Structure formats: C-alpha cells, structure tokens
Structure 1
Amino acid sequence: MTHTTDHLIAHDVPTEQRNAATFGIDTLATPAIVDQLIDANSGIQAAVAAQAEHITAAVDAALVSWIAGGVIHYAGAGTSGRLAVLDAVELLPTYGVGDDRVQAHLAGGLDAMMRAVEGAEDDAEAGYALGRSLAPHDLMFGVTASGRTPFVGGALRGAREVGAATVLLASNPNAELAPLAETAILPDTGPEVITGSTRMNAATAQKIILNTFSTALMVRCGKTYDNLMIDVAATNEKLRARTVRMIVQASSLTASQARACLEETGGEIAPALVMALGGVELPIARAALTRYPPDPSRTGDPSGIRSALASLG
C-alpha cells in the first residue's frame, strides 16, 4: 500500500497559505526584510481583540473550575505547546500558583521543549489518555496553530468524556477541533510571513491570548491588589526589592518602613499591605485578612484586602 500525506495538505488553514505581501522576501536587503517582518505583526492585535468574548468565556469557565478546586490543564505540541508550558511555569514566581492548580502538557514530554520529538503531535492516543486522566471539575485548554493537531484533539476528546470543561485556542477560524471545545478562541492571523512558520504570527497571537487568559484568571482569583502582585515569590534580590517597592507604591511608607513590614510578615505581601494601609500591627492585619480570605465571587475585591481594610473602621 502506498503511504501518502494528501490528507495533510489543507486548503483551509490560513497559516499554511502563502502570504502575497512577502513574495520575494529573499531578494530584499536586511532593512526591508526587517520592515516586512515588523509589518506582519500589525494585524495581530486586531485578530486577538476580535476574540475578546471567547477569551472572557474561557476565563469564566476556568474560574468555575478553580472555585471547585480543579486544575487547569494546557495541552499542545511544538511552538504552541511550548508557549503553554511557558505560561504555566511563569505563574509560580508571579502569582504563587504551582502545578497543583495549573499544568502544561507538551506532546513528547518536556524533552520536546528543546527539540522536536518525532511524531509526538500525531499521537492522538497519548492526548486521549491525558484527557481521560482529568477530574470532572478540571479544565482542558488545547493550544494548536492549525486547529487539527491529533494530540490536542485526543486531549479534548478524553476530557469531554470525563465531564471536564474544554477550551480550544487555534489560529484557524475553520479549526476542525472546534466542535470538541465548549469555548473556541480562533484568531484569524492569516498566512504567515514565511509560509507555515507558525512561530511567527500565530504564535504571537497565542502568546498574547495565553497571557490575557491566565492574567485575567489570576486577578479574578484574588492574586492581585489593584494592579500589584500580592503572591509573588520573592526568591531573589530583584524580586525582594520589587515587593518593597509595591508596598511603597500602595502606601505612604518609605522603603525602609516597607521593608520592616515585610520582614515582620516573613515576606507576605497581603498582611504587609494591610499593616501599611491600615496603620495596624501584624496580629490585627492577619485577623482582618482571616475574616476576608481571597474569594473570586466577592465582587470588586477578590483578594479580600479592601474588605479587610474596611473592617478596621
């Protein structure tokens, strides 16, 4: 039997079409090449903005899962999967969220972060096993440029079978996996500058959307006070200086006073903020925060800090 790849020659996948704007790019001098690459990004923000309603729906679905104690799972392959891994691992130092709440699964395993693993993205069974491993209150977020990656499709199918929520992010308005997702985010980033190189336009849009999704989720989960990170893990001198600066920015304290508050709280930002803004000692600050723990359903104050301050009279 003759093996062919005709079924992979898609005519409805924008990222696989040729970009007429960059015909002849290899004949240009460096400045013109750079200009064309920069110009190619000009429409990405509009493509992302057109998906705002669907991104919002994905955040709200993830919030339901979060409140129920579920885990947010990303699944992807290649560049898309690597971006998902990047988004997940950055949540720990930024918001104090580890893999007990957000996990990323890259086709081919973590070895695929550094080099391609042959055939990994085509392994629908591996994706399916991953999806089936979820709990009903978890969420599966599939990420694929083409919208047809078998590993991602398997993950979505398995997740649906166990009753988990499903989200798909693909740079293809006609993504064939879209019916497997309760929420589909499908930015139309068009043909790539270099045909099929989804590390360009498609990946840029995916990075923006993943950043937006996870950041909005963290804000709704009470991981910020105003626009300040209150669960940042200060594991180096730069981050320790940042926590001091946040207390100064939020209050009228000097840097030395802010540092003293943080030293007293053992580096915990929320009680230090209540001490600084409420003018109270640490036991009172902690007691107020105990009365108002982070609560995503608390409108206007998911972190509880505003309510804790108000309770001080």
Structure 2
Amino acid sequence: MSITESSSNYEDLEHMAVRDLLVNMNNEDKTVPLAVERSIDQIVPLVEQIVLKMQAGGRLFYIGAGTSGRLGILDASEIPPTYGMPHGKVIGIMAGGDEAIRKAVEFAEDDQQQAWKDLQALDISDADVLIGIAASGRTPYVIGGIREARSHGLVTGCIVCNPDSELASVSEYPVELIVGPEFVTGSTRMKSGTAQKLALNMISTSVMIRLGRVKGNKMVDMQLSNTKLVDRGTRMIMEALQIGVDDARDLLEKHGSVRAAVNHYLDARN
C-alpha cells in the first residue's frame, strides 16, 4: 500500500474532542516543512531548468487532478498579479477542465491521453516545461501527459508524495515530498496538499526572483489591482526614493508599477 493511502496514526477520530482534533492535526502539519526540506536538492535542478527555458521565451505548465490540479491552477493564477508576468506564461490545467476547479468531474483523471490533448490546445512545445502534480504519483491523466511531453522533448518534472512512484519514474526532475500517513486516512488534501503548496510556492517564487521580477525583496512589478496594493506600491517608492507620499503616489499612477516609477525618477535625476 502507498504511504498516502496508509492508515492514520490516530484512531476513533469521531470520539475526539474538538481541541484534540485540532491539536493532533496541527502536530501532523508540523512535520510537513521537514519533508519539503528533505527534497530541496530535488527542487534545485528543476527550478534551474525552468529559469533557463523561461529566459528563452518558454512557458511553465502544471497538470494535475483534484486537489493537486487545483493547487497548480492557484499557483499559476497568482503569478501575473504578484510579479507582473504576462498571463499565459505560467499555466495550470486540471483533469476535467475549468468545471473541475469547483466540482469533481467523475473519472476525468483516468484518461491517459487527455492531458496531452489539453496541452496541445495551448500549443505546448519543447520550449516549455511541464510539471505533473499528483500526491499518489499514479494518476493516469498526469502520467500520460508527462510521458507524452517527455517524448516530445519537453523538460518534465513532478511533485509527488509517495516514493518510487510511476509518475516520478517517467519525469526527468521528480520531487518526492514524503509526508507520511494523513490524519484522515487517504485525505491527501491535508498534509500532502500542504507539502505540494509549499513546493509550488518555492518553485514559482524562486523562478520569478531569478527572472528579475523581484528587486531587493520587493514585488516591484506587481499589478496595482486594488487600493491595498496601490498603498503598498506607494510606500515602496517612498522608501526607495526618500520622497513624500503625494509625490510617490503621483509617480506610481503615472508609470503603472513600482519598477517603472523608480527607474523614471532616477533617470530624470541623472
């Protein structure tokens, strides 16, 4: 039996007091970052390959099913507003399509051919990178997509939570996050999902930093999509240029991003 399907370390959950449930879940969750830490050496070469491909104009794709697919879509959707990256440079696709984001689509993950069809609709090529996300490491939709992509010369990686899985075996850069049994047996939206989210955060953030989308420790290319972000951008300009709030906000509104505002101001002074 796979680790992700193995029995919980806890029995009779329905008889636990609420506080005990929460404490025990939290204790299990504390082990997740350590599992991710053990996999950092697997993540490094995958990030390096993504950076090389994206520097040359390529894209990053995620494929998955269920929770894993939703996590990929979440990570991809946050890249444009956070880092000002154009839409379509990081793309998440899940078995069952957009409908499956909110409601499970029966048996969608069992089709080994569908992922490659979904990817072809977006003109995927060997300029791109594909990461398959599957806690079990045996989801047919993901395995089929990764296998076909690799046969077409794409850089492929995966994020799994079982050792020696089929998905890892067909991926060029496998990342194995072994978090152990779930608090609720087999509920991989819990520790496995948390580990996958941490790894995705690390991968995409590292890539964006290496692509120059962060200056110092600031999101200088973030989209100004709400008042909170406009205020944050204004403060960043004030700090960088040592100017007042009104001047900083005027620069931000005129140039549309922290980076552009700061660069224009410095160029004008020089």
Given the two structures, how large is their TM-score scaled by the length of structure 1?
A: 0.82
User: For residues 246-265 of structure 1, what are the structure 2 equivalents within 5 Å?
Assistant: 246-265=236-255
Aligned: 1:238 with 2:218:
no
Residue of structure 1 equivalent to 2:257: 268
Superimposed CA distance per residue, residues 121-159 of structure 1 (whole angstroms, 9 cap, x where no aligned partner): 111110233456521111111000000100000110111
Gaps of 5+ in 2: none
Q: Distance in 1 between matches of 2:43 and 2:169?
A: 17
Residue of structure 2 equivalent to 1:206: 196
Q: Distance in 2 between matches of 1:117 and 1:98?
A: 29
Q: Distance in 2 between matches of 1:93 and 1:271?
A: 16
8 Å contact from structure 1 (residues 131, 157) kept in 2: no
8 Å contact from structure 1 (residues 136, 163) kept in 2: yes
User: For residues 159-308 of structure 1, what are the structure 2 equivalents within 5 Å?
Assistant: 159-265=149-255, 267-275=256-264, 278=266, 280-281=267-268
How far the C-alpha of 1:275 sits from its partner, in A, is 4.6
- Number of matched pairs: 268
Superimposed CA distance per residue, residues 189-223 of structure 1 (whole angstroms, 9 cap, x where no aligned partner): 10000001001000000000001100010001111
Match of 1:146 among 126, 136, 141: 136
Q: Distance in 1 between matches of 2:100 and 2:118?
A: 17
Match of 1:83 among 61, 71, 76: 71
Q: Which amino acid aligns with 1:123?
A: D
Task: State percent identity of aligned pairs.
Answer: 36
How far the C-alpha of 1:245 sits from its partner, in A, is 1.4
Q: Distance in 1 between matches of 2:86 and 2:99?
A: 20
Match of 2:27 among 30, 39, 53: 39
Superimposed CA distance per residue, residues 203-256 of structure 1 (whole angstroms, 9 cap, x where no aligned partner): 000000001100010001111111111111102212111110111233322222
8 Å contact from structure 2 (residues 223, 257) kept in 1: no
How far the C-alpha of 1:176 sits from its partner, in A, is 1.5
Match of 1:135 among 109, 119, 125: 125
Residue of structure 2 equivalent to 1:16: 5
How far the C-alpha of 1:273 sits from its partner, in A, is 1.9
Q: SS at the partner of 1:166?
A: strand
Q: Distance in 2 between matches of 1:129 and 1:264?
A: 43
Q: Distance in 2 between matches of 1:228 and 1:129?
A: 38
Q: Distance in 2 between matches of 1:270 and 1:255?
A: 16
Match of 1:107 among 95, 98, 106: 95
Q: Distance in 2 between matches of 1:166 and 1:264?
A: 41
Gaps of 5+ in 1: 1-10, 285-311
* Deviant stretches of 4+, over 3 Å: 130-133
Q: Which amino acid aligns with 1:186?
A: E
Q: SS at the partner of 2:74?
A: helix
8 Å contact from structure 1 (residues 129, 158) kept in 2: no
Q: Which amino acid aligns with 1:271?
A: A
8 Å contact from structure 2 (residues 224, 257) kept in 1: no
Match of 1:124 among 112, 115, 126: 112
Superimposed CA distance per residue, residues 8-40 of structure 1 (whole angstroms, 9 cap, x where no aligned partner): xxx1x21100122x1122211111111111111
8 Å contact from structure 2 (residues 8, 183) kept in 1: yes
Residue of structure 2 equivalent to 1:97: 85
Q: Which amino acid aligns with 2:201?
A: N
